[in-house]
Amino acid sequence: MIPIRTTLDNSTTVQYAGLLHQLTMKAKSTVRDIDPQNDLTFLRIRSKKHEIMVAPDKEYLLIVIQNPCE
């Protein structure tokens, strides 16, 4: 996974990209397993500190990390 454009530092970007790519693949295959006609459109991971949103595509992946308004 090669980061094309990022607002974070390189190492963090690489880490996020690598990990989330794998997770997205897994989520996508899960959705497909349950219903082959279905497909993953969006993945949201909410953690204590922030929310990670992933929009997957055939070739590219858009990742946004947002701080929830608490």
Partner 1 sequence: MEIVYVYVKKRSEFGKQCNFSDRQAELSIDIAPNPELAALYVERNPVDTGIQCSASMSEHEANTERFEMENCGVNHVEGGWPKDVNPLELEQTIRFRKKVEKDENYISTIVQLGSIMEHCIKQNNAIDIYEEYFNDEDDVEVTEEAPSAKTINVFRDPQEIKRTATHLSWHPDGNKKLAVAYSCLNFQRAPMGMSHDSYIWDLENPNQPELALKPPSPLVTLEYNPKDSHVLLGGCYNGQIACWDTRKGSLVAELSTIEFSHQDPVYGTIWLQSKTGTECFSASTDGQVMWWDIRKLSEPTEVVIMDISRKGQLENALGAISLEFESTLPTKFMVGTEQGIVISCNRKAKTPAEKIVCTFSGHHGPIYALQRNPFYPKNFLTVGDWTARIWSEDSRESSIMWTRYHMAYLTDGAWSPVRPAVFFTTKMDGTLDIWDLVFKQCDPALSLKVCDDALFCLRVQDTGCLIACGSQLGTTTLLEVSSSLSTLQRNEKNIASSIFERETRREKILEARHREMRLKEKGKVEGEDDGQKEEEGALDLNELVAKAEEEFFEIVFSELRRKDAEAMKKKPKSVRTSSFEACGRTGL
Whole-angstrom Cα distance, residue 66 to residue 29?
Answer: 26
Contact map string, positions 34 to 53, toward partner 1, x by CB under 8 A? -------xx-x-x----x-x
Whichever of 15 and 29 has its CB closer to partner 1, that residue is 15
Contact between 27 and partner 1 per CB under 8 A: no
- Kindly state the DSSP code that residue 49 receives in the 8-state scheme: S
How far apart CA 61 and CA 49 sit, in angstroms, is 22
Q: Which is nearer to partner 1, 34 or 69 (CB)?
A: 69
- Do residues 70 and 48 touch, judged by C-beta distance below 8 A? no
Is the Cβ of residue 30 or residue 66 nearer to partner 1 in the bound state?
Answer: 66
